[in-house]
Amino acid sequence: MAEQPLVSIIIPTYNRAHLIGETLDSVLAQTYTNWECIVVDDGSTDATDELMAKYCAKDSRIRYYHRPDEHLPGGNGARNYGFKMSKGEYIQWFDSDDLMHVESLEIKVRNIIRSKVDVIISKTTTSINKLGTQYSNLRKEFDIVEKNDFYIDFIKSRNNILIGDPIIVRSKTIDVIFDEKLIRGQDHDYLIRLFSQSLKIGRIRNYLYYYRKSENSITRQAANLKFKFANTQILLNKKMLSKYSEIDEVAFEYHRKNRKLYRSYIEKNRPYFVFLHYNFFRKSFNLSIVEFSIYLFLNMIFKKGFDRMKYKI
């Protein structure tokens, strides 16, 4: 490739000494070589420091930092600091337990240059075997998203995009930072704000990103209804409804998600989430206080009757 702009790969990490080595090996194996990899530690208490010292000594393109106190604890603060320390023309967010296809950067950068897109995305997989294919004809696997409201489809979960997959032109990320107060849904929130800009988006229809499912992931903790994660999901939905209340199809989708959350909380014997956000859930069913209270009581006692609570027009 004649033109080789610098790609900044930014990785937040916390107690992943047992996994991040494999992640960095997938970066080192890239056929595209003009990259910098910035790892920002969020206060690990395992052997991350020792492991990172070895990788930094092995390759000067890898740099290691500790998140400073000016950024809040958590992956969001680590990512924002990593961005400050980066120099690349393109930004590749990545996670410390995931893997890249060996040609991922080469394929994406080549198509960014050819098609002059702002963001390029590929397909993601939780099956490591799907990363084994070598691609010979890149153009056939590439198209450009024509819709100007791509972010609406993303909000409605029509496009499954994970934060570690896209490569983004740096100028499009300067004003879009991670919300450091969020502990759940921060990637979704970031990508919504990114895609709501006027962007030319390229899409590669091959698997270039492997996402590792973790038993201790925030998603799983939220699914188990641990308080701070489940409560944050509700707060995020409130934020989205407030911001996009004028777009009927988006509002409808978030009310649908809220009704699904309501049922999950009741079925798993966590009604206090509903009581904490009583009016919020009531409005997602568009029911009066009396109607909603009756349904809530019956749902709690019998764990059924949800189908009768369809949105009241």
pLDDT of residue 218: 42
How confident is the prediction for the chain on average, in pLDDT?
88
pLDDT of residue 312: 55
| DSSP string computed for the chain | ------EEEEEEESS-TTTHHHHHHHHHT-S---EEEEEEES---SSHHHHHHHHHHH-TTEEEEE--TTS-SSHHHHHHHHHHH---SEEEE--TT-EE-TTHHHHHHHHHHHHT-SEEEEEEES-GGGG----S-SGGGEEEE--TTHHHHHHTT-S---TTS-EEEGGGTTT----TT-SSSHHHHHHHHHHTS---EEEEEEEEEE----TT-HHHHHHTT-HHHHHHHHHHHHHHHHHTTT-HHHHHHHHHHHHHHHHHHHHTT-HHHHHHTHHHHHHHHT--HHHHHHHHHHHHHHS--GGGG----
Same domain, 112 and 191: yes
Residue 1 domain flag: no
pLDDT tier at 216, thresholds 50, 70, 90? low
pLDDT tier at 2, thresholds 50, 70, 90? low
Q: CB neighbours of 54 closer than 8 A, spacing ≥ 6?
A: none
- Domain span at residue 228 reads 218-309
Select from 147, 181, 210 the last residue of a domain. 210
pLDDT of residue 308: 79
Same domain, 106 and 182: yes
Lowest-confidence range among 54-68, 83-97, 185-199, 222-236?
222-236
pTM of this prediction?
A: 0.83
Select from 183, 210, 237 the last residue of a domain. 210
How many separate domains does the chain show? 2
Is residue 233 scored above 50 in pLDDT? yes
Q: What is the pLDDT of residues 104-150, one digit of tens each?
A: 999 999 999 999 999 999 998 888 887 766 555 444 578 888 777 88
Q: What is the pLDDT of residues 260-299, one digit of tens each?
A: 889 988 998 888 889 989 999 999 999 999 999 999 999 9
Same domain, 229 and 205: no
Residue 225 domain flag: yes
Same domain, 165 and 268: no
Residue 269 domain flag: yes
Same domain, 184 and 157: yes
Same domain, 71 and 102: yes
Select from 210, 241, 257 the last residue of a domain. 210
Same domain, 295 and 149: no
Residue 164 domain flag: yes
Same domain, 37 and 57: yes
Residue 2 domain flag: no
Residue 152 domain flag: yes
Give the residue-averaged pLDDT of 88-117.
Answer: 95
Same domain, 78 and 199: yes
Same domain, 77 and 107: yes
Residue 270 domain flag: yes
Residue 300 domain flag: yes
Same domain, 281 and 250: yes
Same domain, 123 and 48: yes
